[in-house]
Structure 1
Amino acid sequence: MKSNEISLYKVSSKGKYGYIDKTGRLVILCKYDLASNFHEGLAIVEKSRKCGYIDKTGREIVPCKYDDACDFSEGLAMVEKNDKRGYIDKTGREVIPCKYDDAFDFHEGLAIVEKNGKRGYIDKTGREVIPCKYADAWDFQEGLALVVKNGKRVYIDKTGREVAPFIYDDKLW
């Protein structure tokens, strides 16, 4: 954490959530039904069963209009509308439309997405880098990801090229 960055801590009062600073001073009023910790400068808040994001001043950056939301990861956050998932940036702009059945955090510039029961990978522009053709998929780590294809586990690189079969009982990460 940068030395000039403000630390805020989630608190609840009368069933509502807000935030205090390290001195215990209430900085953001307890008015949210749910609230998360801050990640990449923003926190998820929920009002009337809809999710949005606030900054550390309490300013609503993204209105509470999503059915579900996740923390920001590599500058983007997964959001859900009408049972479909996509991604927004820190201004609230929908960068990748809510069209996926499932979607996960970005790792090494790629995120796992699911369509019709199959998983693949997209980049931060929404381009499908590796098609949704796998029964299961894991995050990239050091340039490789484990996927399940035709009932077998195999490692792929960021182009989708198979680089090594997985020959162990369990994945290592």
Structure 2
Amino acid sequence: GGVGKTDLVQEVFSDNRSKVFDLRIWVYVSEKFDLLKTGKIILSAINRSMGSGTSEKYGPPQNGDLHTIIEQLEHMLPTKRYLIVLDDIWEEGIHNLENLKCMLQHGQKGSKVIITTRMDRIVEKLDCGVLANQGIIRPVHKSDWIELKKLSNEDCWNVMRQAFRRDADLSGVEEIGREIAKKCVGLPLAL
């Protein structure tokens, strides 16, 4: 971690252009993946966006098992064009990933799901998606992935230099600064 995946996606999520979505939901997943909890967070966000009458119609999300949550999402997501961010997924179990895809396959045309992960294997296991509300499987090509790479030592040093005024004399601290940049091993968040 630390190359800026979450920061980049937060910029996209908060950009004015993402306001074309009826529903924008951010779910921080982390190492302990809980599909039921993820579904409940998404369902709660939909309930809040649609008003209080939705909970009575479909039942409160905290009282459902996974099947119930998926069923509720099948009824509610087709009414919305959504952007859902699943941040920091570590889960590699194919069963959970298939259920995750099943949970999110409904929605108006143009709905999007963005996933951040450290592991290519997870993206490979999610190698196909279902276009919202059409049931058409299409591959998610590797060319569609955005892979953030570590910075070079020189790039790290250039980022560090931005902390100083442009006209500042760095001759006395440059050697130390370059050593610090090197110890950051290319991770911008370590700077």
TM-score, normalised to structure 2's length?
0.25
The structure with more helix, counted as a fraction of residues: 2
TM-score by length of 1: 0.27
Larger Rg: 2
Which has the larger strand fraction? 1
Q: Larger relative contact order (C-alpha < 8 A, sep ≥ 6)? A: 2
